[in-house]
């Protein structure tokens, strides 16, 4: 009953599995049927015994057949179907941070994530070739049976220390702790340094996932407005004076979402305040490598980890599927952070760490980054222009990077626009998510690598006017309201 | 100055890198030296231009040379050596949980980890072949440029639901959330369900890393003695009545460290108490697959996730370097746990998840487990005998699994023994770590897969008597004290 196609690309084992599975599922081989012995089926099909063994093993792993000791293979009794509730509805296009995080990760066909925080797949494919991945996996094979070191794959920690050195940041490999990404790094340092009720300062607008993380830990956040030169120093000083925050979270380079970078004067002043009011600064550098200038100023370069805890990641510039980040800190903090890493996840994943090491050490990462920077510069200019022509006001005080932060006309009803856009294939990232309370006006964050699309600009230009509060009843805004389920 | 050995196994690129790096480091190519152009060096060495490009890229990634636009490659200026503090001293053999966790992961040559919680490397090597790893990496190449789904690699979640079904546990794939291991699973559920000051019940003795994790979160632990039949029901009932814990942590199968499995009567009674006193049960099943009986009873099988949250992991039975675990729970809890996963680490690592999927779906995992179970049964019997003959009292109420839990003579000075053993190449795992306060007597936990060594039994037999409190001054116990640094 089995016909093998020897000219096919599909392995013979897989052909046997598919056809036998079909016969079992159709009921042509009912439960209890004894299957031919391995030797017999191999002879009948003119394949090796190993091919049949592989097929039977795969069918057994799917629960379709079972081996009975000393009597051969049998079709399994039909099992009661497992409860299969419908897949949870994907998060809606709302303003909730968790929903936004899910939207960052979950992709649906026909929806363009024009506000994403990651590079598009097509920008990464030549970077992560099947050949490279196979080579890394093969090289590490022996080590995957061993526990890794708690701090993470040592050659990668050395390489990161070296690259930081190139950027003027003096750090020993022992000060570098590998994490599952910058989010994980923030988690570790907060667990080590903060208790519920503690006060921290954050930039506003700022990264919504950080806000959600801190809120989840019961930490009180004080907003310091982000200016094009960095955090607003007078607000920061008064916040310090009144509330004595324990930490300040900041993105020196290519701030998310505004795209600005802190200038030298502001940076020095921040470090001065940190010393004066005895707080630490968490410098989140996940986008720093995309900065178009060679060796831009980072706080860690000046401070040398006296006050600064530095968070890096390869998820943003390589791929969100590669869960490798790092934290760099004063030697005295290393054991505290290591302890939190052990308690939370025990260890990180050596395959991913070897992959990043290979990319860094071969120079492939540097070339990738150079290419990405160039493409971004090119794209950004056009996206900014396209958005401006569509009636938005993109921020111009940026030096490059992934994000275009664009204001909308004051009277636009942002939630309605977001919902309408989602129905038309555009997943927009609403500005309100980047504020602790309300944005002073409606904003959208665009990904310069993912937004260069005249259809997007056309959509915004033609649709925006109808989402002005008080626009006529025939406008798509009202249509969207009408289309919602009652009570939604 | 470069000589290539074309008969060598070492790639030509690597030979060029090594020799040029040597010349730079020796000072034979001082900083500022212009290197031959790519074309010229390729011609001189009769290699392809790509080989030279690869070598120059690797040297640049190590900071030894640099490309200057439109003028070629130059030896870099010697950089000031980075600060390189000595590697932090490895954790000592003490009783502290964090030190024990570090000892679990950090390996030193010449030290046998006879109390480890993992399978030895030699038991895993044929499982994780370079060919398999390369195939998995190659297959997934396309997907590594995309964000994964927040819950984890869908085919693995389906396969886990299927395997749970084989074990009589009805769970839909949507109820399965992938984690970086059971430790990560516990972290997620505690963050979602507990607040500092909340009360939970734990088994005593129990897993020290769980105790440290809960302590770190400010959760109050109440100890319920572990009997050979499961948690002591009368103590559990009185704890429930007095303190109303929110959660009970338990290991139904092959409890760590005692190796016992909960019997059916105790299991039903536990579920009854959970209903009566309205608490949830965290069933930690990391060793369950090693149970020698087919389909042993688990709480999740009876409860169907009404009260039970189930934690699984592949770190214990595959490798601690493969960071894949899972949690299964009531559909209503899924969004809460997913939220904590997102906030803490954003996503898990798809390579590791694809690797585990491939092992499960091909049947290789099942065969591995069967082999391991058989070897463990064989080893355990001999380890138990060897320890008994050395003067220890191994617990006999176990059905198999990884651990042999052995009592020592009451008067043994355990910390001194641990320290002496570490100096003689035996990393022992002290029983005290598994108790919230003090053990009622000294214990050691042995790994049956790693302890079958007559030298270990000889060491214990000859050394134990000298660690009895009050033994003579010439005994190794006192010698160990003398050998410690002053003030240590």
Please report the pLDDT score of residue B471 as a whole number: 56
Over residues B342-390, the pLDDT tens digits come to 998 888 888 899 999 999 999 899 989 999 999 998 899 899 999 999 9
B328/chain A closest Cα distance in angstroms: 13
pLDDT at B89 over 50: no
Over residues A275-322, the pLDDT tens digits come to 999 999 999 999 999 998 878 999 999 998 999 999 999 988 888 888
Q: Which of B362, B396, B411 is the last residue of a domain?
A: B362
Residue B94 pLDDT level (bands cut at 50, 70, 90): very low
The answer to whether residues B296 and B371 belong to one domain is: no
Tell me whether residue A128 is in a domain. no
B414/chain A closest Cα distance in angstroms: 25
What is the span of the domain harbouring residue A20? 12-75
CA gap B251, B207 in Å, rounded: 10
**Domain holding B275: CATH number?**
3.40.640.10
Q: Do A150 and B105 touch (CB under 8 A)?
A: yes
The answer to whether residues A423 and A443 belong to one domain is: yes
The answer to whether residues B216 and B295 belong to one domain is: yes
Over residues A121-133, the pLDDT tens digits come to 888 877 888 888 8
Q: Which of A334, A362, A390 is the last residue of a domain?
A: A362
Q: At what angle do helices B350-361 and B154-166 cross, to 10 degrees?
A: 40
Q: What is the CA radius of gyration of chain A?
A: 27
Please report the pLDDT score of residue B182 as a whole number: 95
When scoring B78, B111, B186, B321 by the number of chain A Cβ atoms within 10 A, the one with the most, hence best to mutate, is B321
* Mean pLDDT within B114-128: 85
Tell me whether residue B7 is in a domain. no
Which one, of A177, A203, A212, A215, lies nearest residue A104 by Cα?
A: A212
DSSP per residue, A166-221:
HTT----GGGEEEESSHHHHHHHHHHHH--TT-EEEEEES--HHHHHHHHHTT-EE
* B437–A contact, CB cutoff 8 A: no
**Domain holding A70: CATH number?**
1.10.10.10
Residue B143 pLDDT level (bands cut at 50, 70, 90): confident
Q: Judged by CB atoms within 8 Å, which residues 34-73 of B form the interface with A?
A: 54, 57-58, 60-63
B115/chain A closest Cα distance in angstroms: 14
pLDDT at B477 over 50: no
CA gap B222, B188 in Å, rounded: 21
The answer to whether residues A153 and A283 belong to one domain is: yes
Over residues B274-329, the pLDDT tens digits come to 999 999 999 999 999 999 887 899 999 999 899 999 999 998 888 888 899 999 99
Rounded to the nearest integer, the mean pLDDT of chain B is: 87
Please report the pLDDT score of residue B258 as a whole number: 94
- Out of A8-12, A330-334, A470-474, least confident range: A470-474
pLDDT > 70: what percent of chain B?
92
* B351–A contact, CB cutoff 8 A: yes
The structure's pTM equals: 0.84
Please report the pLDDT score of residue A319 as a whole number: 83
The answer to whether residues A204 and A335 belong to one domain is: yes
Please report the pLDDT score of residue B144 as a whole number: 80
CA gap A169, B148 in Å, rounded: 33
Q: What is the CA radius of gyration of chain B?
A: 27
Tell me whether residue B84 is in a domain. no
**B34 three-state secondary structure:** strand
pLDDT at A481 over 60: no
* Mean pLDDT within A317-332: 91
Tell me whether residue A18 is in a domain. yes
CA gap B431, B408 in Å, rounded: 10
Over residues B39-51, the pLDDT tens digits come to 999 999 999 999 9
Tell me whether residue B111 is in a domain. yes
pLDDT at A62 over 80: yes
* B441–A contact, CB cutoff 8 A: no
Contacts of A131 in chain B (CB under 8 A): 138
Compare B85 and A406 and report the one with higher pLDDT.
A406
Compare B182 and A486 and report the one with higher pLDDT.
B182
Residues 6+ apart with CB under 8 A from B209: A342, A343, A346, B97, B100, B101, B183
* A363–B contact, CB cutoff 8 A: yes
Rounded to the nearest integer, the mean pLDDT of chain A is: 87
pLDDT at B90 over 80: no
A259: left (phi over 0), alpha (psi -120 to 50) or beta: left
Tell me, rounded to whole angstroms, the distance of Cα B216 from its chain centroid: 19
Residue B225 is encoded by which pair of tokens?
A: 């003695």
CB burial of residue B454 (10 Å; 0-12, 13-18, 19+): exposed
Q: Do A342 and B98 touch (CB under 8 A)?
A: yes
Residue A31 pLDDT level (bands cut at 50, 70, 90): confident
CB burial of residue A437 (10 Å; 0-12, 13-18, 19+): exposed
**How far separated are the first and last CA of chain A, in Å rounded?**
54
The answer to whether residues B413 and B350 belong to one domain is: no
**Domain holding B420: CATH number?**
3.90.1150.10
Q: Do A133 and B129 touch (CB under 8 A)?
A: no
B375/chain A closest Cα distance in angstroms: 17
**What residue of A is the nearest CA neighbor of B210?**
A343
The answer to whether residues A280 and A164 belong to one domain is: yes
The answer to whether residues A358 and A375 belong to one domain is: no
* A469–B contact, CB cutoff 8 A: no
Which one, of A266, A215, A270, lies nearest residue A240 by Cα?
A: A270
Tell me whether residue A237 is in a domain. yes
When scoring A50, A132, A137, A330 by the number of chain B Cβ atoms within 10 A, the one with the most, hence best to mutate, is A137
Q: Do A84 and B343 touch (CB under 8 A)?
A: no
Tell me whether residue A137 is in a domain. no
Q: How many residues does chain B have?
A: 488
Q: Do B349 and A102 touch (CB under 8 A)?
A: no
The answer to whether residues A187 and A330 belong to one domain is: yes
Please report the pLDDT score of residue A78 as a whole number: 66
Query: Locate tokens 């026909």: which residue?
Result: A110
**A178 three-state secondary structure:** strand
CA gap B471, B461 in Å, rounded: 15
The answer to whether residues B324 and B375 belong to one domain is: no
Residue B335 pLDDT level (bands cut at 50, 70, 90): very high
Which one, of A166, A70, A121, lies nearest residue B148 by Cα?
A: A121
Please report the pLDDT score of residue A471 as a whole number: 56
CB-based contact B106:B91 (threshold 8 Å): yes
Over residues A49-58, the pLDDT tens digits come to 999 999 999 9
Q: Pick the most confident of A65-79, A291-305, B198-212.
A: B198-212
The complex's ipTM works out to: 0.80
Over residues A337-394, the pLDDT tens digits come to 999 999 988 888 888 999 999 999 998 999 899 999 999 988 998 999 999 999 999 9
Tell me, rounded to whole angstroms, the distance of Cα B341 from its chain centroid: 19
Tell me whether residue B136 is in a domain. no
Count Cβ–Cβ pairs < 8 Å, chain A vs chain B.
Answer: 305
Number of domains observed in the structure of chain A? 3
Compare B127 and B228 and report the one with higher pLDDT.
B228
The answer to whether residues A320 and A205 belong to one domain is: yes
- Out of A338-342, A438-442, B418-422, least confident range: A438-442
The answer to whether residues A312 and A332 belong to one domain is: yes
């Amino acid at each position: 009953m089995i016909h093998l196609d020897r000219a096919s690309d599909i392995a013979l084992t897989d052909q046997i599995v598919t056809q036998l599975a079909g016969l079992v599922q159709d009921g042509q081989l009912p439960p209890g049927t004894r299957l031919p012995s391995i030797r017999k089926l191999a002879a009948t099909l003119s394949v090796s015994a190993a091919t049949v063994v592989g097929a039977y093993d795969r069918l057994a792993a799917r629960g379709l057949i079972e081996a009975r000791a000393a009597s051969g293979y049998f079709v399994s009794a039909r099992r009661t179907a497992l409860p299969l509730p419908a897949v949870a509805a994907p998060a809606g296009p709302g303003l909730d941070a968790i929903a936004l995080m899910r939207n960052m990760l979950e992709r649906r066909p026909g929806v363009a994530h024009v506000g994403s925080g990651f590079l598009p797949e097509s920008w990464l494919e030549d970077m992560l070739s099947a050949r490279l991945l196979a080579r890394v996996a093969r090289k590490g094979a022996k080590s995957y049976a061993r526990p890794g070191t708690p701090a993470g794959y040592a050659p990668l920690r050395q390489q990161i220390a070296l690259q930081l050195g190139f950027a003027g940041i003096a750090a020993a490999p022992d000060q570098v702790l590998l994490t599952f990404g910058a989010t994980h790094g923030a988690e570790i340092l907060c667990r080590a340094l903060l208790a519920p009720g503690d006060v921290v300062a954050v930039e506003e607008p700022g990264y919504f996932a950080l806000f959600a993380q801190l809120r989840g830990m019961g930490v009180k956040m004080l907003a310091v407005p982000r200016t094009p030169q960095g955090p607003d120093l007078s607000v920061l000083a008064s916040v310090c004076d009144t509330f004595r925050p324990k930490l300040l979270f900041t993105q020196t380079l290519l701030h998310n979402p505004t795209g600005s970078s802190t200038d030298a004067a502001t940076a020095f002043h921040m470090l001065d305040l940190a010393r004066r009011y005895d707080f630490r600064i968490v410098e989140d550098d996940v986008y720093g490598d995309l900065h178009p200038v060679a060796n831009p100023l980072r706080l860690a370069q000046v401070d040398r980890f006296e006050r600064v805890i530095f968070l890096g990641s390869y998820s943003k510039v390589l791929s969100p599927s590669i869960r490798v980040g790092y934290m760099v800190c004063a030697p005295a903090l290393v054991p505290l952070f290591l302890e939190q890493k052990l308690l939370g996840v025990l260890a990180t994943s050596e395959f991913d760490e070897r992959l990043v090491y290979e990319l860094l050490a071969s120079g492939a990462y540097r070339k990738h980054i150079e290419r990405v920077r160039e493409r971004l510069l090119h794209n950004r200019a056009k996206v900014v222009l396209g958005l401006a022509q569509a009636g938005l006001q993109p921020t111009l005080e940026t030096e490059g990077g992934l994000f275009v932060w664009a204001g909308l006309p004051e009277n636009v009803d942002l939630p309605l626009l977001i919902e309408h856009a989602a129905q038309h294939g555009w997943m927009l990232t609403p500005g309100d998510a980047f504020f602790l309370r309300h944005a002073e006006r409606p904003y959208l964050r665009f990904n310069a690598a993912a937004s260069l699309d005249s259809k997007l600009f056309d959509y915004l230009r033609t649709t925006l006017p109808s989402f002005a509060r008080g626009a006529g009843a025939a406008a798509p805004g009202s249509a969207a309201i009408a289309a919602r389920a009652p009570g939604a």
